[in-house]
Structure 1
Amino acid sequence: MSLLQPETRNPKPETRNSQSGTRNSKLILHIDADAFFASVEQGFTPSLRNKPVIVGGTADQRGVVHTASYEARKLGVHIGMPLGQAKRLVPHATFLKGNFEHYQAVSRTMQDIYYQFTPAIEMTSLDDAYLDLTGTLKLHKRCCEEIAREIQARVYRAVKITVSCGIGTSKFIARIASGQNKPSGVSSVAPGKELDFLHPLPVEELPGIGRVARERLHQLGIFQIGQLAAIPKLLLIQLFGANGEKFWEFANGIDSREVNQRKIPKQISRETGFEEDVSDFNLVHEVLRYLTERIGKKMREEELVGQTVSIKIDYSGNRRFKKARSLSQLTDSTGIIHGMVETLLQETPFRRLRVHRVGLAVSKIKCKNWQGELFHERTRSEDLESAMDEIRRRFGFTAVMPANLINLRKHYRMEKSGFVLHAPALTR
């Protein structure tokens, strides 16, 4: 029996239990949709099936290929290729800009199918998922390969796309296995055979090894994962920094990461009170701007986006004003959220009123899937916020602050982690 067991088109049922090799080993299934965007387009439009489809833009548009159907790949088209070059290679291909809403809907359908087999699911992108099947085989009364084939069948019936599956004792092994028998394959690495499977593979199969790292390793005469595994860990750290340690662990089959079942919060909110009730509108405005900065950073850290912005103003005398409004699209942008806050503040009563407490919330939260970024250019404000997040990560939250928050220093002590408001959680 080979260490990597690719399934044939009409496989015979397996009786081997992949957990039998090691009693306490995990059983992880990695699922990767084949040419996802292009496959979805072919599923929605039957006339495109079995024809070359290229997603990324129109044939006469500047840009690059985001994905291509296998019919186009066989003719030399690959991800990242300029659209003009793809057109010259395959002039008869269908070029599409892409429809993120369609892809998101198909991804949700796939996720619903996965939940029929285990509650332990980690969706890492629209088309990529880990399923922890540890302890589920007796429940399903079938081996893991049969479960994978059943998932493939249900996905194809539902959305007319194929997925490739990899089975292993860790997320890393399962991911590598899923790419070994594409498209529409099922590949399993038996417990205890991880290194025999990994070591003959080229080093670029390891996550994080791109062109530069690969060329550097090739210059050192290292071409296979087994050769990389034999290098002392400290030497790899000297060569590649913190990534070197991760390369060494993966090359030696070490991966203790769990399948994270992510729960999406209904909203992300921040609020604070004033030591004394205030009637200074500018102070209220600045505090809400600061809360917006905290929420925006939190959303980007957690890779979440939201659509509805709401403010809450508590006045003295137990009076409360709440106002909410939805944005035209999901966002994690501090600037966009604050723009809506300013709009809501214009509708908020302040005359002859004293404010006791203010709050801000963003709701209708969803995971930010970076594949959505393929269909629009990053704006200067997004680049700026990303740069500010990195500065704050390295030097503290107050290392860079909007100029219109400077007056908060008169009212609150400023520490590296933020202003010390009357809500301790906000200063963490």
Structure 2
Amino acid sequence: MCRDCEAGEDTPEGERCARCGSPRLLRHPELDRLAIAHVDCDAFYAAVEKRDDPALRDVPVIVGGGTRGVVATACYIARTYGIRSAMPMFKALKACPHATVIRPNFDKYSAVGREVRRLMLELTPLVEPISIDEAFLDLTGTERVHGAGAARTLVRFARRVEREIGITVSVGLSYNKFLAKIASDQEKPRGFSVLGRSDALDVISPRPVGILPGIGRQTEARLQKAGLRLVRDLRDRRPEELIRLLGRDGERLARLARGEDARKVEPRREAKSVSAETTFNADIARFEELEPILWRLCEKVSLRLKRSSLAGRSVVLKLKDRNFRLATRTRSGLPATQLARRLFEPARAMLRDEADGTYFRLIGVGASDLCPAEEADRGDLADLHLAEEVKVEAAIDRIREKFGAAAVQKGLAFPFVSAGTASQAGAPAASSPPSGRNPRNRGGEPG
């Protein structure tokens, strides 16, 4: 099938479509028998920025910022310079000093992600979001609804995303979720790959064990130490050996190595936490400098909870020191809340305990143990001020929505002041400031 005109005439291998001349031909002997798909937006954040500013189309774009921050997304032009997601910004800009750096605008990306999700749900109700820009779909039994098989329906979907939303997606089609995910990574960008029962093992066997879901760096290192470097090495071992090495996870990995994955596409994948974090331009040790940054992050988490109609009953504090050691602290069993102050109070108490002179490069805060918003901030006879607090924060949210995030600020949000001069050490890197493009901004420092 031609992915551009949908012509289905037989075309010799390696040639172009006989009808429209396109080289984007889709061939597989099991094409009409597969229905599990993984859809992934290509270089999502960067693609949205290029869509909104055509002048960026042919230049390397990095979404991220702050000389001490990390790359959130790099466009495919930037990737030719070796830039990848999660790379420190100073390394990315050393590799491609002429790249255009754009601060992330997560509200905009979320809105675009919802548009893509809406089109997915028109294909099937069985859509399992994995992140803002990717999801699994199960199109089993949708042939009569769409008048076409899953492959043709997905081809039309990909073209519609390009036409109506202005970004591109890559699609993987197979008979289970694991292989659909592997397939979607094979031909990015604008890819469409198929893995069936006839060829899946040939494709995954020579791949490193790190492609298997649930394998982190430590597990991969343990497997390599045991001589298990490739997927075929796992398949050649008896399951009992893998269970002895990895416990119960060994059996799961043995099945995946054989191309077996019984997981269903679950349409209601609940968020486990809502969080925000920032990396500093300079390491910070003083509690008084960390406190206002923590408050601003709590306000972000509060707003995200409200927009998601969720509340949290646990607060998590995340700190990374100058040696990249990560510490997380949790305060659980709290009354469900969406309010910034009620998130901030336990987070501040945990921060005070951790601020012992250690220099930190990153701080984050999150709400977990989530529940519906209806359960939040109900108050009781011992908490007479809660109703008023809810009204005040709702009023502040409305003002900010109309006039911008800076329209109303608590004094706590301003940087720590010492000897009459505002400290600059506590200024967060690019994960927090407002979005904006600055071609001259090589380090992403706040303007």
Q: Give me the TM-score of the superposition, normalised by structure 1.
A: 0.60
1:186 is matched with which residue? Answer: 192
Q: Secondary structure at the match of 1:300?
A: strand
1:18 is matched with which residue? Answer: 31
| Distance in 1 of aligned mates of 2:35 and 2:23 | 24
1:375 is matched with which residue? Answer: 431
Q: Secondary structure at the match of 2:129?
A: strand
Superposed displacement of residue 193, structure 1: 4.4
Alignment pair present for 1:224 and 2:234: no
Q: Secondary structure at the match of 2:144?
A: helix
| Distance in 2 of aligned mates of 1:78 and 1:29 | 25
Superposed displacement of residue 206, structure 1: 1.2
Q: 2:24 is matched by which residue type in structure 1?
A: P
- RCO higher in structure (CA 8 A, sep ≥6): 2
| Distance in 2 of aligned mates of 1:79 and 1:6 | 33
| Distance in 1 of aligned mates of 2:232 and 2:93 | 40
Contact 1:7 1:187 in 2 (8 A): no
Superposed displacement of residue 43, structure 1: 1.4
Match runs of 1:17-416 below 5 Å:
18=31, 20=33, 27-58=35-66, 61-191=67-197, 193-262=199-268, 292=335, 300-301=368-369, 309-311=376-378, 324-325=390-391, 326=393, 375=431
Q: Secondary structure at the match of 1:259?
A: coil
Q: 1:171 is matched by which residue type in structure 2?
A: K
Superposed displacement of residue 53, structure 1: 0.7
Superposed displacement of residue 95, structure 1: 1.0
Contact 2:129 2:269 in 1 (8 A): no
Q: Secondary structure at the match of 1:375?
A: coil
**CA 195–81 in structure 1, closer or farther in 2 if over 3 Å, else same:** same
**CA 18–235 in structure 1, closer or farther in 2 if over 3 Å, else same:** same
Q: Give me the TM-score of the superposition, normalised by structure 2.
A: 0.58
Superposed displacement of residue 308, structure 1: 10
Contiguous gaps of at least 5 residues in structure 2? 1-12, 17-21, 271-307, 314-331, 344-365, 398-429, 434-447
Contact 2:311 2:336 in 1 (8 A): no
Give the paired residue count.
Answer: 299
**CA 30–6 in structure 1, closer or farther in 2 if over 3 Å, else same:** farther
| Distance in 2 of aligned mates of 1:47 and 1:292 | 49
2:298 is matched with which residue? Answer: none
**CA 189–138 in structure 1, closer or farther in 2 if over 3 Å, else same:** farther
| Distance in 2 of aligned mates of 1:139 and 1:78 | 40
| Distance in 1 of aligned mates of 2:262 and 2:112 | 30
| Distance in 2 of aligned mates of 1:83 and 1:65 | 6
Deviations 1:81-121 (A, max 9, x none): 22112111111101122010011011000011111211111
| Distance in 1 of aligned mates of 2:194 and 2:157 | 15
Superposed displacement of residue 163, structure 1: 0.9
**CA 305–52 in structure 1, closer or farther in 2 if over 3 Å, else same:** farther
Superposed displacement of residue 185, structure 1: 0.5
Q: 2:128 is matched by which residue type in structure 1?
A: E
Contact 1:13 1:146 in 2 (8 A): no
Q: Secondary structure at the match of 2:173?
A: strand
Contiguous gaps of at least 5 residues in structure 1? 21-25, 271-288, 316-320, 330-373, 378-428
| Distance in 2 of aligned mates of 1:247 and 1:15 | 27
Deviations 1:174-207 (A, max 9, x none): 1111111111110111245433433233322212
Contact 1:14 1:145 in 2 (8 A): no
Superposed displacement of residue 51, structure 1: 1.3
| Distance in 2 of aligned mates of 1:107 and 1:6 | 35
**CA 263–248 in structure 1, closer or farther in 2 if over 3 Å, else same:** closer
Q: Once the two structures are aligned, what percentage of the paired residues are identical?
A: 35
| Distance in 2 of aligned mates of 1:208 and 1:68 | 25
**CA 266–98 in structure 1, closer or farther in 2 if over 3 Å, else same:** closer
**CA 263–178 in structure 1, closer or farther in 2 if over 3 Å, else same:** closer
Q: Secondary structure at the match of 1:247?
A: helix
